């Protein structure tokens, strides 16, 4: 590969640097806002009285019943 052909990689390298910068910035922002503190309580925020933790409320239809019909 010639040295001259490396100039074709400049847009790809630039996009890689931009992606890396955005990823590091998002990680820094989330750490600064406290998103990584107390994972257990953060994970339980999606549960309500209608869908309590530990109870299965959604499921796929039973394949055996579907095949018999």
- Rounded to two decimals, the pTM is 0.54
pLDDT in tens, the chain (69 residues): 566 677 888 899 999 999 999 999 999 999 999 888 887 776 777 777 777 777 777 777 776 665 555
Hey, where are the domains in the chain?
4-68
Q: Check: CB of residue 38 under 8 Å from CB of residue 45.
A: no
Residue 67 to residue 59: CA distance in whole angstroms: 17
DSSP line for 27-68: HHHHHHTTTTS-HHHHHGGG--SSS-TT-----PPPHHHHHH
Q: Please, which residues have CB within 8 angstroms of residue 30's CB and are 6 or more apart in sequence?
A: 36
């Amino acid at each position: 590969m010639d040295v001259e052909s490396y100039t074709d990689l400049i847009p790809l390298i630039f996009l890689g640097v931009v992606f890396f910068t955005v990823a590091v910035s998002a990680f820094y922002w989330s750490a600064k806002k406290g998103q990584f503190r107390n994972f257990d309580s953060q994970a339980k925020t999606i549960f309500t009285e209608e869908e309590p933790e530990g109870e299965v409320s959604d499921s796929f239809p039973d394949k055996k019943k579907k095949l018999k019909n």
